[in-house]
A and B are shown apart, each in its own frame.
Chain A
Amino acid sequence: MDSRRLPRAVIDPKVRQVGFFTSCDPPPARSLSVPADTGASAIVPTDMSSSPPLTDIYITNNSFSSVRIPPPRQVSAEGLHSLGRAAGSTTSVFAHDVLSPHCWEGIQMPIGSYNSSEFMQGKSSMLSPSSSRFDDIDFSEEEATSACLIRTGSGKEAAAFPRSSGEVMMAIKSGANAPAKSALKTASVVKALPEVTGIQAAVPFHFSFEEKDGGTSIEKQNEGIGAARSKQKTTKAERRAIQEVQRAAKAAAKDAGKGAKSTFASSGGALAVAKQAKSAILPSQTKYGSSVASERRVDRNPDKDGKKDVSQSSMQFDDKSRVEKAKRRAAVGHFEARNSVELFRHLPQYEHGPQLQYLESKFFHLDHIHPSVYKVGLQYLTGSTSGGNARCKEMLLAFQEAVMDYSTPPEKTPARDLTSKISSYVSFLIACRPLSISMGNAIRFLKNRIAKLDHNISESEAKSNLLSDIDRFINEKIIVADKVIVHHAVTKIRDGDVLLIYGHSTVVEMILLQAHELGKQFRIVVVDSRPKLEGKALLRKLVMKGLSCTYTHLNAISYIMHEVTRVFLGASSILSNGTIYSRVGTACVAMVSHTFRVPVLICCEAYKFNERVLLDSICSNELGDPDVISKVHGRDGLNDLENCYDATPSDYVSMIVTEHGMIPPTSVPVIFREYGRDQLFF
Chain B
Amino acid sequence: MDFQVVVMAGGYSKNLVPLVSQEMPKPLLPVANRPVLSYVLELLEASNLKDLIVVVEGEDVALRVGGWISGAYVDRLHVEVAAVPEEVGTAGALRAVAHHLTAKDILVVSGDLVSDVPPGAVAATHRRLDAAVTALLCITPVSGPSESVSSVGKDKGRKLPRANIVGLDHTRQYLLHVAAGAEVGKDIKIQKSILRANDQMEIRADLMDAHMYAFQRTILQEVLDQKEMFHSIKHDVFPYLVRTQLRSEISDKGAPKNGLNGVDYTLNGSEPASEILTNRTHKCCAYIANKSKYCSRLNSVQAFCDINRDVVGEAGHLSGYSFSAQNNIVHPSAELGSKTTVGPQCMLDEGSKLGDKCSVKRSVIGRHCRIGSNVKIFNSVVMNHVTIEDGCFIQGSVICNNAQLQERVVLKDCQVGAGYVLTVGSEYKSEPLSKK
Contact = CB atoms under 8 A, between A and B. Distances in A.
Contacts of B2: 371
B374 to A, nearest CB: 48
Contacts, number: 64
Contacts of B272: 540
B157 interface: no
Nearest to A385: B128
B74 interface: no
Interface in B253-275: 261, 265-267, 271-272, 274
Interface in A93-111: none
Interface string A350-372: 00000001011111111100010
A544 interface: yes
Nearest to B50: A364
B265 A543 contact: yes
B120 A362 contact: yes
Contacts of B193: none
B370 interface: no
B400 to A, nearest CB: 36
A365 B3 CA distance: 12
A363 to B, nearest CB: 3
A375 B267 contact: no
A367 B120 CA distance: 12
A76 interface: no
Interface in A360-402: 360-367, 371, 374-375, 378-379, 382, 384
B265 A363 contact: no
Contact of B48 (A364, A384, A537, A543): A364
A366 B49 CA distance: 11
B120 A375 contact: no
B125 interface: yes
Given A374-B1, A543-B265, A544-B261, A363 B123 contact: yes
B267 A360 contact: no
A357 B121 contact: yes
B121 A363 contact: yes
Residue of A360, A375, A536 most packed against chain B (CB within 10 A)? A360
A467 interface: no
B118 A361 contact: yes
A256 interface: no
B130 interface: yes
Contacts of B124: 359-360, 363, 374, 378
Contact of A536 (B118, B123, B130, B271): B271
A378 B127 contact: yes
B426 interface: no
Interface in B240-257: none
B267 A364 contact: no
A539 interface: yes
B252 to A, nearest CB: 19
A367 B130 CA distance: 18
B47 interface: yes
B10 interface: no
B119 interface: yes
A357 B289 CA distance: 11
Contact of A364 (B49, B125, B265): B49
B94 to A, nearest CB: 21
A378 B134 CA distance: 16
A364 B128 contact: no
B128 A384 contact: yes
Contacts of A363: 1, 47, 118-121, 123-124, 127
A553 B121 CA distance: 37
Interface centre among B119, B127, B130, by most chain A C-beta atoms within 10 angstroms, is B127
Contact of A360 (B3, B118, B265): B118
B267 A365 contact: no
A604 B121 CA distance: 37
A384 B127 CA distance: 13
A663 to B, nearest CB: 35
Interface centre among B49, B118, B261 (most CB of A within 10 A): B118
Contacts of B49: 364
Interface string B1-15: 111000000000000
Given A360-B124, A384-B128, A543-B265, A366 B1 contact: yes
Interface in B371-424: none
Interface string B95-108: 00000000010000
A513 to B, nearest CB: 15
A364 B120 contact: yes
B259 to A, nearest CB: 13
A543 B119 CA distance: 43
Contacts of A544: 261, 265
A622 to B, nearest CB: 21
Nearest to B127: A375
B128 A365 contact: no
Interface in B264-323: 265-267, 271-272, 274
22 contacts: A360-B118, A360-B121, A361-B121, A363-B118, A363-B119, A363-B120, A363-B121, A363-B123, A364-B47, A365-B48, A367-B1, A371-B127, A374-B124, A374-B127, A536-B271, A537-B271, A539-B267, A540-B265, A540-B267, A540-B272, A544-B261, A544-B265
Given A379-B128, A537-B271, A543-B265, 11 more contacts: A361-B118, A364-B123, A366-B1, A367-B1, A367-B48, A374-B1, A375-B127, A536-B267, A536-B271, A544-B261, A544-B265
Interface of B: 1-3, 47-49, 104, 118-121, 123-125, 127-128, 130, 261, 265-267, 271-272, 274
| Those 10 A-B pairs whose CB atoms lie nearest each other, nearest first | A363-B120, A361-B118, A360-B121, A378-B128, A360-B124, A364-B48, A363-B124, A364-B47, A365-B48, A375-B127
